[in-house]
Amino acid sequence: MTIGSSRFQQMRIGIIGLGNVGWALGRGLRRAAHQAQTVGCDRNAEKRERFSQTTGIPAYDDWKEVIEFADFILVCIRHGQVLPFLEELRHTASPEKVIACLAPAVS
């Protein structure tokens, strides 16, 4: 599937965590895949507002809304939050969702 394909344009993408990684992905997706429907999520209201104003991508405070909306979910949260989050996500997301965890590795 290429970015210009109609299937990609219909894809709904969710970004959970609007720190450096989530922010960069949002900006890149807006430029490269402007046809794809993208939403973001972060607990921090200032980050959500700045992200939305800068990228034009709506951002929510409830990650469950993003999970419900998106077909492809990019998890961009701190490594210490990943395991508890994925455990809860496992009980929330339906099996057809594609989830990519982009948290930094811990050595």
C-alpha distances in Å from residue 96, one per residue of 78, 85, 91:
25, 18, 13
CA distance 46 to 40: 13
Enter the pTM of the model: 0.85
pLDDT one digit per residue (tens) for the chain, 107 residues: 555 555 555 789 999 999 999 999 998 888 876 667 899 999 999 999 999 999 899 999 999 999 999 999 999 998 888 888 888 888 888 889 999 998 776 65
